[in-house]
Structure formats: structure tokens, C-alpha cells
């Protein structure tokens, strides 16, 4: 037992004070801030460089951010006020499947089903009987709320309808990092400002022992969390974990980001519009709208990309566009020896489905679950790398699907995407859906069946068949079900306040 005590981690050094750094620090300070059973403490130290700064983008999230916030005990109204957040019901896709194509990928499903098959199977059956069917999203609570610009938290008066959706947030990433910094520091985390110029390692084990700052200070630690962003200062710079480059299947490598003034209607969703050599995002916050253009510099120039971005703004630009470059992929191992990479240092798929912050939540959660002793058992590292590797790959495949299924052939970029080889599991998913309407959900912790249905049908696949068991329900019953659900969804949405009024009410009532 004495060995266990000697082996206890007493100092965690987090390198980087961006979203990943403070999202890692907050739960670690919450859990380790107080004295342990032997009275000993575990310090949490965050080192950040004012010279280098943070990436400054990352404003849209998935619903899982609510579980992360709730685990910290954050009050939702306080969080919304402090980070100037708005609610997010999903993403509106424009011009992705073809020019003029528009559909919604919402958080939630397509309403209750009526037999043993997934509801989209009955919809496919109806679509076969009637030539022209309105889009399946008319039955999805989140899509109808988004279309009507309305929001209320799930619950409401119509069980099975007004609770059949979920929500995440859009927020100011800088304010969120500050919010978590205050939280972590109130629980004992320390913050050191300085630029790291060297990493010290044990000559035998290779474990990191300290980081050296430009002004000569040394910061020692037992466990190091690398949140240094794309540069991967520890995981790559010192430990050379290696990087798996995915740019042959995810061709975008550049982005320009610019905020603009808000317009009247505060939309409760992110908009993603496909462009000639990539896509643009629009993310509404309380005080401004975040915009960006993600593109491949092999297919357009930076000047043309900036022009496309600025021409598409719906309010006056509040700054000059800021240029970012990236290589899509992931670190081959994100836990090596006593160093764990979290955030951009671990990899970057691309921001199309707002998955980076979600992957930070997953990594921090896994680290807490697998929290090591000072000798960092390699079995823990293997388990962490197994889980995180799988999560990155499943996000990667879901994003590739967005590009691969396009019918656009109006630019070299889209012709390149349509011709790209895709990973085998994704090829199988597409083929299965195209042939039978069935969804192979390969990662139970990843995007669920309704997400695949929304994307594949939205992008233009109409399955050749549907589940034959869906034929066992009388067609009049099927018809009545869809008519009834559509009316209930419309009524439930109509009872909700406008999104802006709901946000203002939340902030005022906090």
C-alpha cells in the first residue's frame, strides 16, 4: 500500500490555456482540488503563453456540452449570460447535395414510430405510395422549431413530441475559456503566464519531468496534459507520437474567420453553406454572428475565399478575416508515457459538425475515468488511445459522408470529393442505406441513426427498398400517424417563444 501512496500524482501541468486547457483544468480541479485521504493535495497548474494566444474559433457545440457543464455544477442561465450563448437545435445545410438543396440535421429524431421499425421506414413506404411527399424533417420537432425560429427546453405539454429533441449551444469560445478559468482557479488551479521553450525528460524513462519557460522558470510535474493546440508541443515536439494525415479524404486545409453584426432574427441553429471550394459557417451569438469559410487552398486562392466569405455576411464585418491553416488527421497516440494530448494537439477532423469540443469533453471524461498513478500504467494509455482513436475515426467517417454524397459537379473541388475513395466502413454504410434504408451505426457513442438518416436523405439518397416489416401496418394507419404527428409538432412549436425572447428571458431571470 505504501507503494500506492508514493505513486500518487501530486502535480498536473496543463500546457495551454485555450478551450481544451481550461476544459481539462476545470473537472480536474473540481475532483482533485481538495486534500486527499492522506491530507496530500494534487496541484493543477495551467501554463499559457500570452505571446502565442489561442486559436479563437470553436463556437458551436453538440448537446453533450450540457452534460459536461452539469457535471461541473454550472448553472445553465449563468453560463448563457457569461458566454453570450444562444441555443442550437442542429445545422441547416444549404447547397450541399446540389445547388439549391436545403435540409436540416437536427438534434433529435423524426417523432414517434408506429410499429417495430424505425419511423423513416414507414415514411419511405408512404413516399412510395404517394409520388410527392414533403421532406421527412416536417416530422422532426427540432427542424420545425428551427424553421419557425422558436425555442423552449424539451418537456412541454405533448409527451413524445415536445420532448423529442435536444439542444447544444453557440457561445463565445474566449468567454467560455474565461468562465472555466474562474471556475478552476476558485477550486485551487494555478495559472502561469509564460512561453515554453524546452521540455525536459527523464533520461531513462523518457517521461516528461518539467517544462522550461523563456524567462528561465521551470515548471515540474508528474502528469502533463498537452493542450498546446496544433503544434502539439509535448506530444509531438518531445514525444514524437506521430500524426495520421487524413487530407486525402478530408481535403479542406484552410479557414478564414470573421465576426459580423447580428441581424434581427436570432436563429437557433448553425448554417453551413457549401461553396465552390469548401463551405461557410454562420453561428449566431447574442452580441454578434460568427462566420467562417473552410476551404482547400488547392482549389481556390485565399483572396477569392475571403471575397466569398465577406460577400455572404448578413451584417457589417466587425474585423478583418483571420487566416487559419490545418492538416486534418489525428495523433497516432494521444497518450504517451505521462503525457496526454487533448484538443487540437490530439487531432482535428474539421469543424463541419462541431465535434472538436465534443472530443475534448470525451477525452477529459476518459482521463478522469482512467486517472493514472505516477508511473502511468501503459495499459491505461492503451485503453485511452483505443477509445479516442475510435471516436476520431467515427467522426471522420461521418464528415467524409457529407462530401462524398454530393451530386455537385460544378467545380473541381466537388468533382474531386465525389471521386474520393472512402474508408471501407463508410462505403458499407452508404451501400446498406442506399439498398435497404437500414443504418449501420458503427459507433454507439457517436452519431445515432436519425443523424445518418437526416444526412443521407438530405444529401439525396432515396433508399431503393424499406424494411418489409413496415408493410405489416395498415396503410391508412400509417397515413393517419404521419398526419397526426405533423399537426402535433406544428402545434407544439407554435406554443414556444421566439428564440431571442427565450434567450433574453433566460438571461434576465438568472
What residues form the annotated binding site for L-tryptophan?
353
**254 near ligand FAD (CB under 6 A):** no
**253 near ligand FAD (CB under 6 A):** no
Exactly one of 88, 333, 337, 366 is catalytic; which is it?
88
Q: How far is the CB of 290 from ligand FAD (least distance, A)?
A: 8
Question: What residues between 187 and 206 interact with ligand FAD by CB under 6 A?
Answer: 195-196
Check residue 316 and report its DSSP letter. Answer: -
Nearer of residues 62 and 439 to ligand FAD, judged by Cβ: 62
Q: How far is the CB of 343 from ligand FAD (least distance, A)?
A: 3
Query: Which strands form 347-348's sheet, in the order they lie side by side?
Result: 243-245, 329-331, 347-348
Question: What residues between 258 and 297 interact with ligand FAD by CB under 6 A?
Answer: 292, 294
Q: What is the torsion angle, in degrees rounded to the nearest 10, for the CA atoms of residue 155, residue 157, residue 162 and residue 163?
A: 30
Question: What residues between 223 and 242 interact with ligand FAD by CB under 6 A?
Answer: 227-229, 231, 233
CA–CA distances in Å: residue 205 to residues 247, 376, 493: 34, 11, 60
Q: How far is the CB of 423 from ligand FAD (least distance, A)?
A: 22
Helical ranges in 85-137 per DSSP H:
119-129
- Percent helix, strand and coil across the chain, each rounded to 5? 40, 20, 40
How big is the site for ligand FAD, counted in residues (CB under 6 A)?
40
The Cα 48–Cα 399 span in angstroms is 31
Residue from 14, 18, 380, 492 touching ligand FAD (CB under 6 A): that is 18
Nearer of residues 48 and 236 to ligand FAD, judged by Cβ: 48
Q: Which three cell numbers stand for residue 339?
A: 503525457
Question: What residues between 145 and 184 interact with ligand FAD by CB under 6 A?
Answer: 173
Burial of residue 237, with CB atoms counted within 10 A of its CB: 0-12 exposed, 13-18 middle, 19 or more buried: middle
Name the 3-class secondary structure at 206.
coil
Burial of residue 24, with CB atoms counted within 10 A of its CB: 0-12 exposed, 13-18 middle, 19 or more buried: buried
Question: What residues between 324 and 363 interact with ligand FAD by CB under 6 A?
Answer: 324, 326, 343-345, 351, 354, 356-357
**321 near ligand FAD (CB under 6 A):** no
| Secondary structure E strands in 109-253 | 168-170, 190-193, 196-201, 208-213, 218-220, 223-226, 243-245
Burial of residue 215, with CB atoms counted within 10 A of its CB: 0-12 exposed, 13-18 middle, 19 or more buried: exposed
CB 486 within 8 A of CB 138: yes
**446 near ligand FAD (CB under 6 A):** no
Q: How far is the CB of 252 from ligand FAD (least distance, A)?
A: 9
The Cα 378–Cα 387 span in angstroms is 14
Residue from 9, 44, 45, 55 touching ligand FAD (CB under 6 A): that is 55
Q: How far is the CB of 224 from ligand FAD (least distance, A)?
A: 12
**Annotation marks residue 88 as catalytic:** yes
Q: How far is the CB of 455 from ligand FAD (least distance, A)?
A: 17
Nearer of residues 41 and 307 to ligand FAD, judged by Cβ: 307
Q: Which stretch binds ligand FAD (CB under 6 A): 47-55, 133-141, 304-312, 403-411?
A: 47-55
Name the 3-class secondary structure at 59.
coil
The Cα 62–Cα 269 span in angstroms is 11
Nearer of residues 196 and 405 to ligand FAD, judged by Cβ: 196
Chain contacts with ligand FAD (rule: CB under 6 A):
15-21, 47-49, 52-55, 57-61, 173, 195-196, 227-229, 231, 233, 255, 257, 292, 294, 324, 326, 343-345, 351, 354, 356-357
Catalytic positions are 88
Amino acid at each position: 500500500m505504501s507503494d500506492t501512496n508514493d505513486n500518487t500524482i501530486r502535480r498536473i501541468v496543463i500546457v495551454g490555456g485555450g478551450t481544451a486547457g481550461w476544459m481539462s483544468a476545470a473537472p480536474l480541479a473540481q475532483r482533485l482540488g481538495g486534500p486527499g485521504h492522506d491530507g496530500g493535495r494534487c496541484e493543477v497548474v495551467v501554463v499559457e503563453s500570452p505571446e502565442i494566444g489561442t486559436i479563437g474559433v470553436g463556437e458551436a457545440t453538440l448537446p453533450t456540452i450540457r452534460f459536461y457543464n452539469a457535471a461541473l455544477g454550472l448553472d445553465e442561465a449563468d453560463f448563457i449570460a457569461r458566454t453570450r450563448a444562444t441555443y442550437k437545435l442542429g445545422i441547416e445545410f444549404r447547397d450541399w447535395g446540389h445547388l439549391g438543396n436545403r435540409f436540416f440535421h437536427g438534434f433529435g429524431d423524426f417523432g414517434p414510430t408506429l410499429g417495430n421499425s424505425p419511423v423513416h421506414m414507414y415514411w419511405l413506404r408512404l413516399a412510395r405510395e404517394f409520388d410527392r411527399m414533403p421532406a421527412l424533417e416536417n416530422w422532426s420537432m427540432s427542424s420545425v422549431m428551427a424553421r419557425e425560429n422558436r425555442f423552449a427546453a424539451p418537456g412541454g405539454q405533448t409527451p413524445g413530441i415536445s420532448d423529442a429533441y435536444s439542444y447544444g449551444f453557440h457561445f463565445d469560445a474566449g468567454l467560455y475559456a474565461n468562465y472555466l478559468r474562474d471556475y478552476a482557479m476558485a477550486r485551487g488551479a494555478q495559472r502561469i503566464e509564460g512561453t515554453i521553450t524546452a521540455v525536459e525528460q527523464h533520461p531513462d524513462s523518457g517521461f516528461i519531468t518539467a517544462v522550461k519557460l523563456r524567462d528561465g522558470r521551470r515548471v515540474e510535474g508528474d502528469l502533463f496534459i498537452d493542450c498546446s493546440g496544433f503544434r502539439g508541443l509535448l506530444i509531438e515536439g518531445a514525444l514524437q507520437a506521430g500524426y495520421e494525415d487524413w487530407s486525402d479524404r478530408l481535403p479542406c486545409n484552410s479557414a478564414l474567420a470573421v465576426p459580423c453584426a447580428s441581424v434581427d432574427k436570432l436563429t437557433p441553429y448553425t448554417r453551413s453553406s457549401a461553396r465552390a471550394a469548401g463551405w461557410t459557417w454562420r453561428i449566431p451569438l447574442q452580441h454578434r454572428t460568427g462566420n467562417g469559410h473552410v476551404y482547400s487552398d488547392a482549389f481556390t486562392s485565399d483572396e477569392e475565399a475571403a471575397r466569398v466569405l465577406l460577400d455572404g455576411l448578413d451584417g457589417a464585418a466587425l474585423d478583418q478575416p483571420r487566416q487559419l491553416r490545418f492538416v486534418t488527421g489525428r495523433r497516432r497516440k494521444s497518450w504517451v508515457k505521462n503525457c496526454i494530448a487533448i484538443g487540437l494537439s490530439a487531432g482535428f477532423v474539421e469543424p463541419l459538425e462541431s465535434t472538436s469540443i465534443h472530443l475534448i469533453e470525451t477525452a477529459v471524461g476518459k482521463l478522469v475515468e482512467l486517472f493514472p498513478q505516477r508511473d502511468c500504467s501503459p495499459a491505461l494509455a492503451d485503453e485511452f488511445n483505443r477509445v479516442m482513436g475510435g471516436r476520431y475515426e467515427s467522426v471522420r467517417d461521418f464528415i467524409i459522408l457529407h462530401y462524398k454524397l454530393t451530386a455537385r459537379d460544378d467545380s473541381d473541388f466537388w468533382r474531386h470529393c465525389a471521386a474520393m475513395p472512402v474508408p471501407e466502413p463508410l462505403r458499407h454504410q452508404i451501400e446498406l442505406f442506399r439498398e435497404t434504408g437500414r443504418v449501420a451505426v458503427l459507433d454507439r457513442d457517436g452519431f445515432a441513426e436519425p443523424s445518418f438518416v437526416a444526412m443521407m436523405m438530405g444529401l439525396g439518397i432515396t433508399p431503393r427498398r424499406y424494411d418489409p416489416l413496415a408493410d405489416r401496418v395498415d396503410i391508412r394507419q400509417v397515413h393517419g400517424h404521419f398526419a397526426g404527428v405533423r399537426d402535433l409538432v406544428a402545434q407544439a412549436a407554435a406554443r414556444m417563444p421566439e428564440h431571442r425572447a427565450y434567450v433574453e428571458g433566460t438571461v434576465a431571470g438568472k
